[in-house]
Amino acid sequence: MPSLRDVLDEIVAEMAGYSDRGAVASYIPQLGKIDPNKFGIAVTLTNGEVLVAGDADEPFSIQSISKVFTLALALGRVGDTLWKRVGREPSGTPFNSIVQLEREEGIPRNPFINAGAIVVSDVLLAGHQPREAIGEIVSFVRSLADDDTIVVDGDVAGSERVTGYRNFALANYLKGFGNLNHAPELTLGVYFHHCAIAMNCQQLANAGRFLANAGRVPSSGHTVISSERAKRINALMLTCGHYDGSGEFAFRVGIPGKSGVGGGILAIVPGVASIAVWSPGLNARGNSMLGSIALEQLTKRMNWSIFSPK
């Protein structure tokens, strides 16, 4: 088995050679300004070791990766009653699709498509002002990463709000079906802000550790969620974490992963490692193009897969 250090350095060198790096998301104007040549990767092992390479200390917009953290928080808040309002099936549709909502009477297919994550934001808003709910999400992420410097990028949140017509459409549609308890603009305020959390690869890999370690943060032993919930979140990441590219990601990479349109991916090797990779250019499904390739290479060279024997 090659050393993880060598593999990460090889991958960074290989990724630098790609000229086709995908397209940076521009529907959120603030994201369109990011340099497509950035590439970073960080691996936090469950034994506490952290290895980084490339632009791993540069913050980026975690976008939909935040949906993993809001799901964990919402499950802690309302338990399995969440599943009355959100499904657990892959959608096979793009992240911002509305078509299934009509057929399925306002119950989003899963918590990782936008419609599902908006319902999760609505759950987290219960009993709070939007800014309190946002504060609670940021505190949770900070505690997971053990890093109090993590913040929301207000420019990204604002940029998303002014161009968020599709998300407003989804929220209004959910409201029309009675699956939103707050005014759409309030729930979306929470949603846009958690998507705009900025983290670097190292912080993100640390924040994902609990999912690689049966719901517990390995360094502190602190239990974030039960091992059963960690297993289920990993299952949802595998089946739904890359939207209509989830099957392809499972096929090529073979571990749970959650992508964001900022070009980040959080991937989990249960019992072994939490991995964060960032390359801003996206493939046709809105998932990081080089991030996916890098994870495919990493898991292949380290023989990390939930489908093959150790």
121 makes contact with ligand GLN (CB under 6 A): no
User: Which of 97, 175, 243, 269 is labelled catalytic?
Assistant: 243
* Cβ 124 vs Cβ 133: under 8 Å: yes
Q: To the nearest whole angstrom, how small is the minimum distance from the Cβ of residue 161 to ligand GLN?
A: 10
Name which of 79 and 154 has its Cβ closer to ligand GLN.
154
Q: To the nearest whole angstrom, how small is the minimum distance from the Cβ of residue 179 to ligand GLN?
A: 17
Radius of gyration of the chain (CA): 18
Restricting to residues 278-297, which ones interact with ligand GLN according to CB under 6 A?
A: 286
DSSP 50-65: EEEEESTTS-EE-GGG
Q: Which two tokens stand for residue 214?
A: 């049966």
Q: What is the helix (H) or strand (E) element at residue 293, kind and residue range? A: helix 289-302
261 makes contact with ligand GLN (CB under 6 A): yes
In this chain, which residue has its C-beta nearest to ligand GLN? 64
134 makes contact with ligand GLN (CB under 6 A): no
Residue 242 and residue 258: Cα distance in Å, rounded? 6
Q: Which of 30, 44, 46, 63 binds ligand GLN (CB under 6 A)?
A: 63
Name which of 238 and 302 has its Cβ closer to ligand GLN.
238
261 is catalytic: yes
18 is catalytic: no
Query: Mask of contacts with ligand GLN, 76-115, x by CB under 6 A?
Result: -------------------xx-----------------x-
Give backbone dihedrals phi and psi of 152, rounded to 5 degrees, phi first. -85, 140
* Cβ 246 vs Cβ 77: under 8 Å: no
Question: Closest by alpha carbon to 200, among 286, 262, 268?
Answer: 262
Please tell me whether 114 is known to bind a ligand.
yes
Q: Is 94 exposed, middle or buried (0-12, 13-18, 19+ CB in 10 A)?
A: middle
243 is catalytic: yes
User: Which of 24, 38, 61, 64 is labelled catalytic?
Assistant: 64
* Cβ 114 vs Cβ 96: under 8 Å: yes
Please tell me whether 121 is known to bind a ligand.
no
CA atoms within 13 A of residue 127's CA, in its CB half-sphere = 6
* Cβ 223 vs Cβ 262: under 8 Å: no
Measure CA 279 to chain center. 14
User: Which of 52, 86, 156, 191 is labelled catalytic?
Assistant: 191
Q: Which of 195, 198, 275, 302 binds ligand GLN (CB under 6 A)?
A: 195
27 is catalytic: no
- Binding residue positions for substrate: 64, 114, 160, 167, 191, 243, 261
- Binding residue positions: 64, 114, 160, 167, 191, 243, 261
Active site positions, annotated? 64, 67, 191, 243, 261
Residues in contact with ligand GLN by CB under 6 A are 63-64, 95-96, 114, 160, 167, 195, 260-261, 286
